[in-house]
Structure 1
Amino acid sequence: MGLEDELAVALGASSVSFLGRGTFGDTWRALDLDGIPEPLAVKVLRAEFFNPRLLARETSNLNEFDHDNIVRLHSVQTITFQGEEHHVIVCEYIDGGSAGQALRAGARPSYKHIRKFAQGLFEAVVELHAKDKIHRDLKPDNIMLRDGKWKQPVLIDFGLVRSLTGDTMTNYPAMVGSIPWMAPEQLQGEKARKACDNWACGVILYQLLTGTHPFFQGVDIRAMEPEELVDLVSVPPPPLPAEVPNDLAEVVIRLLTPDPPGARGSAARALKTLRGAN
């Protein structure tokens, strides 16, 4: 029996197909799971990384939200797969791939589509921040494009979402992969705040507008010390192309303010600026 067939049997699905690999587990597309004909996304947590607190955190956070720009939770299950017990998180399946996949494929959306993407992104972040939650891992690979449309971004991967009333230090296994989108204060080991999510949004939009990272062009961040990384993000990014619409440029420049973090403004302010250009 092949891996896909074995997992399908364990889940009680008619078939599964591999979608991607993350720090805490692999994600699969499952058909006919729990008698539901529509495809679902199944995140199979690796046994060696499983932490009950992480699972409880991710599922409780997802249960709090009912928003078109935030992935919807279906269920949490426990299965036996490859001789080990695994916990799985079942969410809605979002067809269309991620913003990260689109960027790696060389896709460059129009300014109109970038504005719509940004509005959807900020609507999701406003929803998070209104409930005193921070994502802490905003990046193109954690933003799906529903039906492949830039105007329909959907936030996924809520395993690192934390309440602002709790411990929000940024020491976690996914840190290396997320360094390009971490704010200066995160790189210095300070507590993550809403301003950190806003910084990440600024980096993402800069990438969409230019096709390049605002700070880490031509450098190997894996070989750099945290202090060196902080130095790189503590200066203004290269200017945006002159043809970038004023509202988008204004938002990105404000969000990429290194210090003080409060100068970046809120996601709600960014959303208001972009809606005013419609």
Structure 2
Amino acid sequence: MAKKFEVDDVCTALGVEKAEYRGTGSFGETWRADFAGRDAAYKIIHNTGDDAKRLSREVEGYRRIDNAHVVKLFDVRTFHIAGMDRPVMIFEYIPGCDLSELIKVRRPSHDELRGLARGLLTGVRALHEADLLHRDLKPANIALRDSKYDDAVILDLGLAKLLDVESITRYPTLLGTTFYMAPEQLRQDRALRASDLWAIGEMLFEAATGVHPFFKQGEAMGIAEAVNRLSTPPAVPSDLPPDIAELILKCLSDVPHRRGTVTKALDRLA
């Protein structure tokens, strides 16, 4: 998606001398700038109908999470940007790249892959212990601190739910979020804690192999066909360590309760 705001408009609205455009996602545009003397990422929400006060109430649970593998939420405010009041979520800035970018560059070593798994699971466990689900885990929502596979930080903190955005994009494009949805989410059933585990399994497979376990970019198919494809476990590379291979296949069970819990998944890692 294209950049929507100009740097001068953003600097004026935020009251800062400089700001750096960092990208546009499903829910908003992200800029890097100073916040109270700290390096911060400002996520300017696209939908101006979302009230900052309501968002602030919704994200109260996320404010209480203090975990190295979950991005820290500083504040939610309203800024007048490009002629309109817009809600803005202010997060800590994570230097480095995201998982989708590094996957295109190189495969992780087995130790790095195990570290990636541990980071993802630890972050998700922090969310689940706070009775929160992410619902939209995907490589673009995973920052890698200092571009290291084994230092993953979960971003976007369930914005699909917070902003009442329909998570399922239209087929036949099969782009973006749907790539990492669990079968129950594709069927539009209620998302579960096990749904976050499914996404972790898909991301670990993709990091290890460079390809998605079930779909090819741009494939055309209906939801029923997609759900049916998810019922067949992918072929895990034979050279993967047994603990990682077992973790991936466990997470990619099409029956949610067979995926277990995040704590048990962490215990399975060597």
| TM-score normalized by the length of structure 2 | 0.89
Is 2:77 the partner of 1:77?
A: yes
* 1:164-183 correspondence to structure 2 within 5 Å: 172-176=165-169, 177-183=176-182
Call closer, same or farther: CA 1:249–1:92 in 2, change over 3 Å.
same
Query: Which residue number corresponds to residue 67 of structure 2?
Result: 67
1:25–1:44 CA contact under 8 A, matched in 2: yes
2:61–2:130 CA contact under 8 A, matched in 1: no
Structure 1 residue 39: Cα displacement:
2.0
1:23-64 per-position Cα deviation (integer Å, ceiling 9, x unaligned) = 221000113x33x1x421001112446355872466323212
Is 2:231 the partner of 1:228?
A: no
**Secondary structure at 1:15 match in 2:** coil
Query: Which residue number corresponds to residue 125 of structure 2?
Result: 126
Call closer, same or farther: CA 1:30–1:52 in 2, change over 3 Å.
closer
Call closer, same or farther: CA 1:159–1:56 in 2, change over 3 Å.
farther
Structure 1 residue 130: Cα displacement:
1.8
Query: Which residue number corresponds to residue 141 of structure 1?
Result: 140
1:8–1:16 CA contact under 8 A, matched in 2: yes
Structure 1 residue 162: Cα displacement:
6.0
Unaligned regions of 5+ residues in structure 1, if any?
164-170
* 1:108-123 correspondence to structure 2 within 5 Å: 108-123=107-122
Is 2:14 the partner of 1:11?
A: yes
1:213-269 per-position Cα deviation (integer Å, ceiling 9, x unaligned) = 11113x634x322111111111111x222110010001011111112x101111111
CA distance in 2, matches of 1:97, 1:175: 26
1:96 corresponds to which letter in structure 2? G
**Secondary structure at 1:148 match in 2:** coil
**Secondary structure at 1:118 match in 2:** helix
Q: 2:237 aligns with which of 233, 238, 241?
A: 241
CA distance in 1, matches of 2:160, 2:128: 11
Amino-acid identity (%): 37
CA distance in 1, matches of 2:55, 2:101: 26
2:41–2:91 CA contact under 8 A, matched in 1: yes
| TM-score normalized by the length of structure 1 | 0.87
After the TM superposition, list the runs of 4 or more consecutive aligned residues in structure 1 that deviate by more than 6 angstroms: none
Structure 1 residue 136: Cα displacement:
0.4
Give the alignment's Cα RMSD to 1 decimal: 2.1
Call closer, same or farther: CA 1:49–1:111 in 2, change over 3 Å.
farther
Query: Which residue number corresponds to residue 188 of structure 2?
Result: 189
CA distance in 2, matches of 1:210, 1:54: 41
Structure 1 residue 155: Cα displacement:
0.5
CA distance in 2, matches of 1:190, 1:231: 15
CA distance in 2, matches of 1:240, 1:182: 19
Unaligned regions of 5+ residues in structure 2, if any?
170-175
Query: Which residue number corresponds to residue 26 of structure 1?
Result: 29
CA distance in 2, matches of 1:81, 1:252: 43
Call closer, same or farther: CA 1:255–1:74 in 2, change over 3 Å.
same
Query: Which residue number corresponds to residue 168 of structure 1?
Result: none
Structure 1 residue 161: Cα displacement:
7.1
